[in-house]
Amino acid sequence: MKKILSLLLVLFMLLPAFALAETAPVIKIGQSLGTPNDARAFAVITVVLQDDVIIAAYIDEFQFQNAADYVGVPGSDADLGKNFVEGKVLASKRVNNEPYSAMMTAYAGSTVSIADNYDAIQAFVVGKTVADLEALPTSGENVVDAISGATLVAAPGYLQGIIDAAKAAK
């Protein structure tokens, strides 16, 4: 009798766990590599989805820059960097937000840093589905207007990278 009561007690204690397992949200992560801005740099874009809704995104881009002005990715000063052009490093635009943003200001009159632009795009996609993003206008000016705080003309390319990462999520 004690064994039966113990077994019933254990079963009743496990019932809530089984009920939660059926309703637990599905969390997936996806990543894309691409050239959302131009072919001089590549982006690594990561997306986290809960069921079909984006709950987080992260954008970083990498480009060769002058070693005197930029911090290279790990390994740039070792084996990875052995075949780089003399005086160049492969640099993360996020890690090098200050010098890269200063260059954006000098060349294009940008008033928003590269990291703040990425952050605005990331914030914009949270709570949206792939279908929501695919329904956006594809011309640069209309998309830039839709993303509060972002001024990047290449915003459609970054959004496409987010869509690609979300579709690749597992």
Q: Comparing 34-48, 120-134, 147-161, which segment has the lowest mean pLDDT?
A: 147-161
DSSP H helix total and E strand total for the chain: 6, 4
- HSE at residue 134, side-chain half, CA atoms within 13 A, is 7
Q: What is the mean pLDDT of the chain?
A: 87
Average pLDDT score over residue span 87-93: 97
User: What is the per-residue pLDDT for 155?
Assistant: 86
- How far is residue 61's CA from residue 121's CA, in Å, rounded to a whole number? 14
CA distances in angstroms from 110 to 37, 104, 124, 153, listed in the order given: 15, 6, 20, 11
Highest mean pLDDT among 16-20, 126-130, 135-139, 151-155: 126-130
Q: Distance from CA of residue 146 to its chain's centroid?
A: 18
Per-residue pLDDT for 84 more than 60? yes
Average pLDDT score over residue span 94-113: 94
Q: Determine how many CB atoms are found less than 10 A away from the CB of residue 161.
A: 27
